[in-house]
Copies of this chain bind each other. A is one copy, B any other.
Amino acid sequence: MMPHGPQRNYAISDSLVDELARLGLSHACLSPGSRSTPLVLSLARHEGIKTWVHLDERSAAFFALGLARALGRPVAVVCTSGTAAANFFPAVVEAYHARVPLLVLTADRPAEVWGWGANQTIDQTRIYGSHAKWSVNLSPPDALADLLRYVRATGCRAVATAIQAPAGPVHINIPFGEPLVPEQATGNSELGASFAGIETLEGRPTGKPYLGGVQGTRRLGGEELRSLAQSLRGVKRGLIVCGAQEDLKFPVAVSSLAARLGYPVLADPLSQVRCGAHERGLIMDGYDAFLRSEALCRAFAPEVILRFGSVPTSQALLNFLRQHASARQVLIDDGGWPDPIHVASEMLCADARAVAEELAGAAEREADPEWADRWRTASELASRAVAAELKNMGELFEGKIFRELAFLLPEKAALFAGNSMPVRDMDTFFPSVSKQVRFAGNRGASGIDGVLSTALGFGAAIPEPLVLVVGDLSFYHDMNGLFAAKKNRLAATVILVNNDGGGIFSFLPQKRYPEYFETYFGTPHGLAFETAAGLYGVEFRQVKSWEEFPSLLSESIGKPGTRILEVRTDRERNVELHRRVWSAAAEAVDPVAKE
């Protein structure tokens, strides 16, 4: 039996939401809109789901991305029909490339008005193109029972698809006809009373998913593993490179593998491998500085490089990999081909942690101990040189922020770095420490958009206090994201590195065109962000010296509310200081390079 309009809408939305909750959905980001009413009211009425109301869909989607990234579980973001869905696009793209299981639920007008000029009606079918892992129009079959089976099964498949490696966004487009509220509306304030008469297909007993199951892990077979281990025998100069990845159990696995093989590990902070309680004896942290020494890059020629995670942030490291294109370079990844320089010679399509763990069991140590020692010495010399430079630096140098944070952050903390300079400075300047720091950034597509919202969402999902370091253009881009901080009284510390424009451009050859540089690249804006902080009722403090930085930080970290600590810098001077530090590091490793 077909239920009439509203009952049908709510049968769909109630069933879908119930199913998603059974699968572990615990957060949904919503924006005001009429067409999405059934989804919104179903989510609002579900006790197990926390709803977050945002006014700008672009920020909403990035906030949801942050939540999902922190939780490693799907988070829903819901919008009404029309350009609202288009505003999700930047976050969907980031989720796709960063492998974040974002569940995008777009309400739509019913199919009969598609393409006929109706209000707020655009083509939402596969609207995210190749950037959604799966996109489905929830076009209901006629019979109610069939419909509800379809809805529940689709919900299960959407979640499974979103989390299956490589994780990513899934899009469900749901057309709703009018009326959009339940027909038996009474306006009664008793929860549920006004939603009488909705037929739903009961889910499976005892709260199980309708279409349960298990996600397999892609692994190498025993023979393949033995063959890989065998192929590493006799290798004296091996190296492990770890780019961004979010498996929190990977650091232990890869450091065990490194210990087993005797390979130094060049670990991007975003790999989660650089810092923590795991064995860090082979973890190199100063490579972005010391690989700028050409002599060293020549002298430190590896035979084999095992590459895990995304393409590393460090350009110096990328250049090193390119320079050693004739070395055996092995990519280990389930789902990506992270090698834009096309130097890899093998691609192991399997889960990185599983390979690391199982290879550690199968491999034997044959590397030359001197090889690791030389890397360790270089890393230590470079780090010491960098530390010395920074120590003497009284002025507010952008890179120094991260070194200070390494010592000032509490034992457990989350550090989110914005693109484009902060994430690079984090790589260069955050040393390997035993502290547990959860590093994060939007490195899927590496946009400067949505950073504030992603970080706030990330912080909202985890117990660790959140610190975000973000540049001024990026801060401006997503200033609307601060509304979530105000509305939800989120706890966060935002270190706003304000050099009044695009700092990274001063490092690029565009700088040589003074008649165009400031207008089109430097782009100074002169915005007083204290005013923006005032708009959203968040505290604003200017950091005037390194002396006051620790106290400003400790007054903020872990405290309720959001605070912006502005560090004002100069773009020109920033380049000079970076170059000075890099030179010092390159000079420091000179003796090792010439050995």
Interface residues of A (CB under 8 A from B): 30, 32, 34, 37, 40-41, 44, 51, 53, 55-58, 82-84, 86-87, 89-90, 92-94, 96-97, 109, 112-113, 115-123, 126-127, 129-131, 179-181, 185, 187, 189, 191, 194, 310-311, 336-340, 342, 445-447, 449-450, 473, 476-477, 479-480, 483, 487, 501-502, 504-505, 508-510, 512-516, 519-523, 525, 527-528, 531-532, 534-536
A54 to B532, CA, bound (A): 18
| Inter-chain contact A510/B480, CB cutoff 8 Å | no
Q: Given A123-B130, A473-B32, A525-B55, verify A187-B512 contact (CB < 8 Å).
A: yes
A127 to B90, CA, bound (A): 11
| Inter-chain contact A477/B191, CB cutoff 8 Å | no
Chain B residues with CB under 8 A of A191: 515
| Inter-chain contact B123/A131, CB cutoff 8 Å | yes
| Inter-chain contact A86/B82, CB cutoff 8 Å | no
A441 to chain B, nearest CB (A): 12
The residue of chain B having its C-beta at the shortest distance from the C-beta of A537 within the complex is: B526
A524 to chain B, nearest CB (A): 10
The residue of chain B having its C-beta at the shortest distance from the C-beta of A515 within the complex is: B189
The residue of chain B having its C-beta at the shortest distance from the C-beta of A130 within the complex is: B123
Chain B residues with CB under 8 A of A41: 513, 516, 520
Q: Given A37-B510, A180-B509, A534-B531, verify A480-B477 contact (CB < 8 Å).
A: yes
Chain B residues with CB under 8 A of A131: 122-123
Choose among B82, B337, B501, B519 the residue that contacts A447 (Cβ–Cβ < 8 A): B82
| Inter-chain contact B126/A55, CB cutoff 8 Å | no
A63 to chain B, nearest CB (A): 15
Chain B residues with CB under 8 A of A510: 34, 37, 180-181
| Inter-chain contact B476/A55, CB cutoff 8 Å | yes
| Inter-chain contact B55/A339, CB cutoff 8 Å | no
Choose among B83, B483, B534 the residue that contacts A93 (Cβ–Cβ < 8 A): B83
Chain B residues with CB under 8 A of A502: 32
A58 to B478, CA, bound (A): 11
List 11 additional contacts besides A117-B337, A189-B515; criterion CB under 8 Å.
Answer: A30-B520, A82-B93, A83-B90, A83-B93, A87-B89, A87-B449, A119-B446, A179-B509, A181-B510, A185-B513, A187-B514
What number of copies of this chain does the assembly contain?
2
A126 to B508, CA, bound (A): 30
A450 to B57, CA, bound (A): 12
A-B contact pairs, 28 of them (CB 8 A): A32-B502, A34-B510, A34-B521, A37-B510, A40-B516, A41-B513, A53-B519, A53-B523, A55-B477, A55-B525, A58-B87, A82-B446, A83-B90, A83-B94, A87-B90, A112-B342, A117-B310, A117-B340, A123-B130, A181-B509, A181-B510, A181-B512, A189-B514, A189-B515, A477-B480, A480-B480, A528-B535, A531-B534
| Inter-chain contact A449/B83, CB cutoff 8 Å | yes
A451 to chain B, nearest CB (A): 11
| Inter-chain contact A477/B56, CB cutoff 8 Å | yes
Chain B residues with CB under 8 A of A535: 527-528, 531-532, 535
Chain B residues with CB under 8 A of A44: 516, 519-520
| Inter-chain contact B87/A339, CB cutoff 8 Å | no
A522 to B40, CA, bound (A): 13
The residue of chain B having its C-beta at the shortest distance from the C-beta of A125 within the complex is: B130
| Inter-chain contact B515/A336, CB cutoff 8 Å | no
A501 to B55, CA, bound (A): 9
Chain B residues with CB under 8 A of A53: 519-520, 523
| Inter-chain contact B477/A116, CB cutoff 8 Å | no
The residue of chain B having its C-beta at the shortest distance from the C-beta of A112 within the complex is: B342
Chain B residues with CB under 8 A of A97: 122
| Inter-chain contact A113/B181, CB cutoff 8 Å | no
| Inter-chain contact A32/B523, CB cutoff 8 Å | yes
A487 to B56, CA, bound (A): 23
A444 to chain B, nearest CB (A): 9
A90 to B447, CA, bound (A): 17
| Inter-chain contact B508/A34, CB cutoff 8 Å | yes
A189 to B87, CA, bound (A): 40
The residue of chain B having its C-beta at the shortest distance from the C-beta of A530 within the complex is: B535
Choose among B57, B189, B477, B509 the residue that contacts A185 (Cβ–Cβ < 8 A): B509
A299 to chain B, nearest CB (A): 27
| Inter-chain contact A340/B531, CB cutoff 8 Å | no
**9 shortest interchain CB distances as A-B pairs:** A83-B447, A117-B338, A118-B340, A113-B340, A116-B340, A531-B535, A86-B90, A86-B89, A83-B90
The residue of chain B having its C-beta at the shortest distance from the C-beta of A313 within the complex is: B119
| Inter-chain contact B445/A120, CB cutoff 8 Å | yes
Chain B residues with CB under 8 A of A187: 512-514
Chain B residues with CB under 8 A of A509: 179-181, 185
A310 to B119, CA, bound (A): 10
Chain B residues with CB under 8 A of A189: 514-515
A321 to chain B, nearest CB (A): 12
| Inter-chain contact B58/A58, CB cutoff 8 Å | yes
